């Protein structure tokens, strides 16, 4: 009994002198482990008489419970010390200025595409995506573009092989839709297009939205009404709009639309026209029964004019100082 009491006093002293959880765990293993000191006492009880076994077993169990209690108590103290040390180390100085969370916004090109789509959806148009890798037939042949046209050259078009290319216009989707759908047809085709050019007003990749209407008795007046109302909606009704004759292989008559700025200079906005009868013939639409009009809008061009951007390349440089200037309602 004297040895057991002395052992308990030693264990209690060791527990109180520990400074870390690792030290405390080592004490736990030393005295309470499978090969620990208390278990060696228990193994020796078998040599005692029955009365002694009963007496010492109760005493050892009592000491063991007290040791476990002391270890748990010390473990809580050590955890609390560690927690306080961590709090002091990670303490935040509330007098420092807070971290600002910057709110992002839509890219101006995305915002413009959404605005154009929303306008034409109100007129009953359906927006549809289209493949960016095209074949020669849909991009050129079916659109009445001759074999010797400069647009087919490698200095203007990104060819992937002798037949496939990165589309130079979303007009190619007009052919696919007219082959697939039956009139009346009313679609717009937003998407990326590619041309081998790069300067202040041109980039190798840019965005277009093409529009197409196929129905009976469609004429140029319908086309002009749509263009006028779109531009008034996008820029405001104070702008001055001018249609001037132009040439496109896939429309006749054709026109380009300008906005007259405050200095009296004409700024081209879009191209449009009545779909060429040969194009309708290419997709098996009877041009004596149906007529069609089409228009193509350069998204970057109208975005530059709307926000006064002078360099087209700014849209694609991901300069946060440039992009964060655009705020939308």
Same domain, 227 and 312: yes
Helix, strand, or coil (residue 52): helix
Same domain, 184 and 303: yes
Tell which of 29, 62, 89 closes a domain.
Answer: 89
Note whether residue 329 is domain-resident.
Answer: no
- Angle, to 10 degrees, between the axis of helix 220-235 and the axis of helix 299-307? 40
How confident is the model at residue 204, as a pLDDT?
Answer: 87
Same domain, 57 and 142: no
pTM for the model stands at: 0.65
Note whether residue 314 is domain-resident.
Answer: yes
CB 298 within 8 A of CB 271: no
Helix, strand, or coil (residue 57): helix
Number of H helices, E strands in the chain: 11, 9
CB 83 within 8 A of CB 39: no
CB 105 within 8 A of CB 324: yes
Note whether residue 96 is domain-resident.
Answer: no
Note whether residue 101 is domain-resident.
Answer: no
As for how many domains the chain has, the answer is 2
The owner of tokens 């694609």 is: 316
Same domain, 10 and 125: no
Note whether residue 251 is domain-resident.
Answer: yes
What are the DSSP calls for 144-192, one per residue?
Answer: T--TT-GGGSTTTS-BSSSSEEE-S-TTHHHHHHHHHSPSSEEEEEEEE
Same domain, 131 and 56: no
Note whether residue 283 is domain-resident.
Answer: yes
Write the CATH number for 278. 3.30.930.10
Same domain, 250 and 205: yes
pLDDT tens, the chain, 329 aa long:
557 677 778 888 888 888 888 888 888 888 777 777 777 777 777 777 777 777 777 777 887 888 888 888 888 988 898 888 888 888 777 787 877 777 777 899 999 999 999 999 999 999 998 889 999 999 998 888 888 888 888 778 899 998 999 999 898 899 999 999 999 999 999 999 998 877 766 788 989 999 999 999 999 999 999 999 999 999 988 889 999 999 998 999 999 999 887 777 788 889 999 999 999 999 999 999 999 999 999 999 899 888 888 888 888 888 888 888 887 76
Same domain, 85 and 112: no
Around Cβ 279, how many Cβ atoms within 10 Å? 23
Around Cβ 13, how many Cβ atoms within 10 Å? 9
Same domain, 153 and 238: yes
Same domain, 135 and 63: no
Instruction: With CA atoms as reference, report the closest residue to 27 among 43, 45, 55, 7.
Output: 7
Note whether residue 79 is domain-resident.
Answer: yes
Domain that holds residue 205: 108-323
How confident is the model at residue 247, as a pLDDT?
Answer: 92
How confident is the model at residue 252, as a pLDDT?
Answer: 93
How confident is the model at residue 201, as a pLDDT?
Answer: 65
Tell which of 62, 89, 116 closes a domain.
Answer: 89
| 211 exposure class (CB count in 10 Å sphere: 0-12, 13-18, 19+) | buried
Note whether residue 311 is domain-resident.
Answer: yes
**What is the Cα–Cα distance from 120 to 210, expressed in whole angstroms?**
11
Same domain, 170 and 315: yes
Instruction: Give just the sign of the alpha carbon dihedral 212, 116, 164, 274.
Output: positive
CB 249 within 8 A of CB 143: yes
Same domain, 60 and 202: no
CA atoms within 13 A on the CB side of 216: 1
Same domain, 39 and 173: no
Tell which of 40, 61, 89 closes a domain.
Answer: 89
CA distances from 117 to 17, 110, 130, 216, 270 (A): 76, 11, 15, 24, 16
How confident is the model at residue 2, as a pLDDT?
Answer: 53
How confident is the model at residue 256, as a pLDDT?
Answer: 94
What are the DSSP calls for 65-93, one per residue?
Answer: HHHHHHHHHHHHHHHHHHHHHHHHHT---
């Amino acid at each position: 009994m004297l040895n057991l009491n002395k052992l308990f006093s030693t264990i209690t002293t060791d527990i109180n002198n520990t400074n870390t959880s690792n030290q405390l765990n080592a004490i736990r293993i030393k005295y309470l482990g499978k090969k620990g000191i208390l278990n060696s006492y228990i193994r020796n009880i078998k040599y005692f008489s029955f009365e002694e076994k009963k007496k010492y077993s109760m005493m050892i169990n009592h000491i063991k419970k007290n040791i476990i209690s002391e270890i748990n108590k010390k473990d809580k103290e050590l955890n609390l010390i560690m927690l306080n040390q961590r709090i002091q180390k990670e303490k935040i100085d509330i007098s420092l200025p807070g971290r600002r969370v910057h709110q992002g916004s839509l890219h101006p090109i995305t915002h413009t595409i959404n605005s154009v789509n929303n306008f034409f959806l109100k007129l009953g148009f359906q927006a549809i995506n289209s493949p960016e890798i095209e074949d020669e037939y849909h991009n050129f042949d079916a659109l009445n573009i001759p074999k010797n046209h400069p647009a087919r050259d490698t200095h203007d078009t990104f060819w992937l092989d002798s037949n496939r290319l990165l589309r130079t216009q979303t007009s190619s989707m007009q052919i696919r839709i007219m082959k697939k759908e039956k009139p009346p047809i009313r679609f717009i085709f937003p998407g990326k297009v590619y041309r081998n050019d790069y300067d202040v007003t041109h980039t190798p990749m840019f965005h277009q939205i093409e529009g197409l209407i196929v129905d009976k008795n469609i004429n140029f007046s319908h086309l002009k009404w749509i263009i006028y109302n779109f531009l008034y909606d996008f820029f405001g009704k104070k702008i001055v709009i001018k249609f001037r004759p132009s040439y496109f292989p896939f429309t006749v008559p054709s026109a380009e639309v300008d906005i007259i700025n405050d200095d009296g200079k004409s700024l081209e906005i879009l191209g449009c026209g009545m779909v060429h009868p040969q194009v309708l013939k290419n997709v098996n639409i009877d041009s004596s029964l149906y007529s069609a009009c089409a228009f193509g809008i350069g998204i970057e061009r109208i975005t530059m004019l709307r926000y006064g951007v002078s360099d087209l390349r700014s849209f694609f440089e991901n300069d946060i100082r440039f992009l964060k200037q655009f705020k939308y309602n």
